[in-house]
Amino acid sequence: MKFRALAALALLAVAACGGTGGNTGSTQQQPPTANIKPPDAIGAGEGQLNLIAWEGYVDKSWADAFTKQSGCKVSAKYAGSSDEMVTLMKDGGGSQYDMVSASGDADLRLIYGGDVKPMNTKLIPDWNNFQDYFKAPPYNTINGIHYGISLQWGPNTLLYNTKKFPNAPTSWSVIYDSANKGLITVPDNPIQIADAALYLSKTKPDLKITDPYELKQKQFDAAVQLLKDQRPLIKKYWALASDEITLFQNGDVMVGAAWPYQTIQLKAAKAPVDDTIPTEGATGWGDTWMLATKAPHPNCAYLWTAYVSTAKVQALQALFFGETPVNTQACAQMEALQAGSCRQYHADAPGSYFDTIKFWKTPRAECGDGSTNCIPYDQWVAAWTTIKG
Amino acid sequence: MSVETVRWPRPKGGGAVPFSAFFWRYPWLRPLLLLTPPLVWFVVIYLASLATLLITAFWTIDPFTTQIVQAWNTLNFERILEGEAYRAIITRTFLMAALVTVTDALLAFPFAYYMARVASRRSQTLLFAAVLLPLWASYLARVYAWILILNHNGLLNWSLTSVGLPAADIGYTNTAMWVVFSYIWLPFMIIPVYAALERVPESLLEAASDLGARRWRAVRDVVLPLALPGVVAGSIFTFSLTLGDYITPILVGGAGSSFIGNVIYSNVGIANNIPFAAALAIVPVAIMAVYLLIAQRLGAFEAL
C-alpha cells in the first residue's frame, strides 16, 4: 500500500518536472494529506456541490449551464478575503464544503493545514492546454503532488494617473519616492512586504533576495524598513478594490499598487489612468480550485473543475473579472467575445513572461533551499501592524 | 404530623397535582423558573464567552500550523506591552474615544437642553425625529457619505475653494475619523442627556431665580450637576462604541489610523492568531471596566 502511494508520487513528480522545468529539485516537507490517493475516474455526480469562492466566481452565466449538463446543483458561499477562505475551510471543509477557489497566499496554509487533498490532473482534460507554469505552480504543487487545479491569474500592477504621469513610470520607485507624498496607495495586506522585497531584490542586490516570499531575517528587516519609510507617503492603505477606485476617481491619490480589475473599472468610468508592469517585475496572484479533504460531493467537484477549465468558460470568467485564463486555448474565445482582449490580459504571453511575475505564496519558515530560518507568515502579519501603525 | 393529614384539593380529571398548589407549597420555585432562562443565557453567552476569551489569551499558536497550543504563558501580554506599535495603537484608540466623547458631550448638551426645556411640544417631537433619523440609515451608508464629503474632490473642499479658501484635505486622516465618529455616535449622547435634563424639576430653577441667580448661574449650579449623570451615561455609549469600532478606521482612516479592533481583526482573520487577538481584546475590556466603575460613582446608572 505504502509502496503504491510512493510509486504514484514518483510518477506524478516526474510528470510535473517534465512540465515546468523550473522545479528546484529539493524536496519540501510533505503535507498531511500527501498520501491520500486521488480517484482514477469520475463517478456519477452527487447532485449537489458546495463551493467557497470569490464573489462572482460561480456566476450564473456559466454555473447554470454546468448544472444543466451535470445535474450538480451549485451553491456558493462567497468569501471576502483569503483569510476568510482559510477559516471556512478549517477541518477539511467540515464535511460541508467541497471546493475553494483559493489564491496563492492561502494555498500553502490550506495544504499544510491538511484541509485540502491531492487531485488527479488526468481527470481534467483541459489541464494539458494550460500554460506550463500553471500546470504545477509552487503555490499549489508540492513535491509533484497537485493540491488543486489552477484557474485564473493576474499581475499586481502599478496604477497611475496619466495627468500626473504623462509617461508610464518604469520603476516601482515612484511609490517609495517622497516627491509623491500623500498621493500613494498600496493594498492593506501583509503580502505587500513581498512587493517591497521584490523591489529590493533589484535595487539592493547585496541583500541577495531571490524569492520575495522566502526572506531571511536581514532581508525581511530591510523590506519592513522600506515600508516603514513609505508610511508617511501613503494616503491610504486600501482594503477593497472599490476603495482604491474611489481614491483614484476623487483625485486623492495619483499612483499605487493595484490589480487589472481596478484599471478596467476606472477606464470604463473615463478616469485618466493607466497601468504598467515596471522593470523590476511584479508580484501576482494565481487562483486554484482546491478539493476539501472531507468533500461530501467529490464527483461533482471534479466535474466542476473540468468544466471551468474549458476554454469557453475560462474566457467568460476572464472577461467577467479582468483576469487571465490559464488555458492557452481560451485566447481565441476571448477574442471572439471582445477583440484585443487576449493580448490586453497577456493570455497569449510566452513562458518567459512568467519569469517577471512572482506569484503569491504563503511565506513559511521553510525556505526553498531546505533551511528553516525564513520568516513565517504570522511574523509578516505582526510586522504589517507595525508598518501601517 | 404525617403526610396523610395534608388535604390536597381534589384533582380535576387526571391524577396530577395542580401547578398553583405546587407553587404555593414551594414559593421559591416560581421566581427560580422565571429567572433560570435569562440567567442561563447571561452566564453562558456573556460570562462564559468572556471567560473563554480570558483563558485563550494565555495560550499561543504553533506558527507552523497555526493550531492553538494550550500551554499557559503570558507571551501575548508581553508582546503587547513591549511592542511600540501596539502601545501607540492602544493610546490612539483611547485618546480618540475620549476626544469623541468630549466633543459629543459639548454638542449634545445645548441641543438636549433646548429640546427638553425650551422647545414646544411640537418642535420637540420634530427634533427627536431629527436626532433619531440618521439611525434609520445603515452605519456603512453614513460613513461612505462622509467619505464623499471629506475626500479630495468632495463637498468640503469644493465649498472651501468656491469661496476662495484653501482646500482642507482632511480626507483619510485621524481628523476625518474624529469628525465621523463624533457624528455617528451623537444621538447616543443626546438621548440620555435629554432624559436627564427633562427630569430636572422646574421648581428648582424657580427657587434659584427667587434667590437671585441669573439664568446662566442657574444652569451652571443647578441644571449642570443634575444633568451630569445623563452626560456620563451618554459617554458610556460614545466611549465604548468608539473604543470597539474597527470599520470607520478602515474606511475613513489613512496611514497610521489603526485601532485596537483592526489589530484584533487582522490577527483573527489574517494570521489566525486567536490567542493574541484574545489578549488584545482584554485591553478595551479592562479600559471599559475602569470607565464603568468611575461612571457608577458619578451616578450614571440612575440616569440610564
- Report the chain B residue with the minimal C-alpha distance to residue A252: B152
Tens-place pLDDT, residues A293-326? 999 999 999 999 999 999 999 999 998 888 899 9
Is B232 among the domain residues?
A: yes
Tell me: do A241 and A375 sit in the same domain.
Answer: yes
What's the predicted TM-score (pTM) here?
A: 0.79
**Alpha-carbon gap: A237 to the closest alpha carbon of chain B (Å):** 6
Is B77 within a domain? Answer: no
The total of structural domains in chain B comes to 2
The shortest C-alpha distance from A280 to chain B (Å) reads 25
- Say whether both A223 and A303 belong to one domain: no
Residue B199 shares a structural domain with residue B272? yes
Shared-domain flag, residues A339 and A302: yes
Domain assignment present for B210: yes
Q: A237 vs B263: CB contact, 8 Å cut-off?
A: no
Confidence check: pLDDT of A335 > 60: yes
Whether B64 and A239 lie within 8 Å, measured CB to CB: no
Task: Tell me: do A185 and A97 sit in the same domain.
Answer: no
Contact: A237, B255; criterion CB under 8 Å:
yes
**Inter-residue contact A14 to A123 (CB < 8 Å):** no
> How many C-beta atoms surround the C-beta of residue A313 within 10 A?
22
Position A98 in a domain: yes
Tell me: do B41 and B154 sit in the same domain: no
Residues A61 and A197 grouped into a single domain: no
Q: What is the tally of structural domains in chain A?
A: 2
Q: Which residues of B touch A113 (CB under 8 A)?
A: 65-66
Q: At A293, is the secondary structure helix, strand, or coil?
A: coil
The DSSP bridge partners found for residue A150 are A288
One domain, residues B39 and B115: no
Q: Does the residue B96 lie in any domain?
A: yes
The CATH number of residue A223's host domain is 3.40.190.10
Can you count the helices (H) and strands (E) in chain B? 16, 2
Mutate to test the interface with A, among B90, B247, B270, B274 (most CBs of A within 10 A): B270
CA atoms lying within 13 Å on the CB side of residue A226 = 23
Residue to substitute from A244, A378, A384, interface B, most B β-carbons within 10 A: A378
Q: Could you tell me if residue B23 is inside a domain? A: yes
Whether A276 and A293 share a structural domain = no
Any chain B CB within 8 A of the CB of A388? yes
Q: Are residues B36 and B155 in the same domain?
A: no
- Nearest-by-Cβ selection for A231 from B172, B256, B266: B256
Q: Which residues of A touch B273 (CB under 8 A)?
A: 378, 381
Q: Does the pLDDT value for residue B17 go beyond 80?
A: no
Q: In this structure, is residue A373 part of a structural domain?
A: yes
Residues B40 and B86 in one domain: no
8 Å CB contact of A376 and B272: no
**How many whole angstroms separate alpha carbon B39 and alpha carbon B43?**
6
Report CB contact under 8 Å: B251, A243: yes
Of A113, A246, A388, the CB nearest to B258: A388
Residue A361 lies in a domain: no
Domain that holds residue A127: 2-152+286-347
Indicate whether A169 pLDDT > 60: yes
Residues A234 and A256 both lie in one domain: yes
Domain identity same for B218 and B92: yes
> Quick one: A193 and A325 in the same domain?
no
Q: Is residue B66 part of a domain?
A: no
Q: Are residues A26 and A55 in the same domain?
A: yes
Query: 3-class DSSP state for residue B135?
Result: helix
CATH number, domain containing residue B192 = 1.10.3720.10
- pLDDT score for A24: 42
Which range of residues forms the domain containing residue B8? Answer: 3-56
Q: Are A74 and A57 contained in the same domain?
A: yes
Contact between A276 and A158 (Cβ < 8 Å): yes
Asked if residue B50 and residue B121 are part of one domain, the reply reads no
**pLDDT value at B277 more than 60:** yes
Contact in structure between A187 and A344 (CB atoms under 8 Å): no
- On whether both A125 and A93 belong to a single domain, the answer is yes
- Is the same domain home to B19 and B119? no
A135 plus A6 within the same structural domain: yes
Lowest-pLDDT range of A247-251, A346-350, B8-12, B86-90: B8-12
What confidence tens digit (pLDDT) does each residue in B245-274 have?
999 999 999 888 999 999 998 888 667 788
Tell me if chain B has a CB within 8 Å of the CB of A376.
yes
Q: Kindly report which listed range (A24-38, A236-250, B76-90) carries the lowest average pLDDT score.
A: A24-38
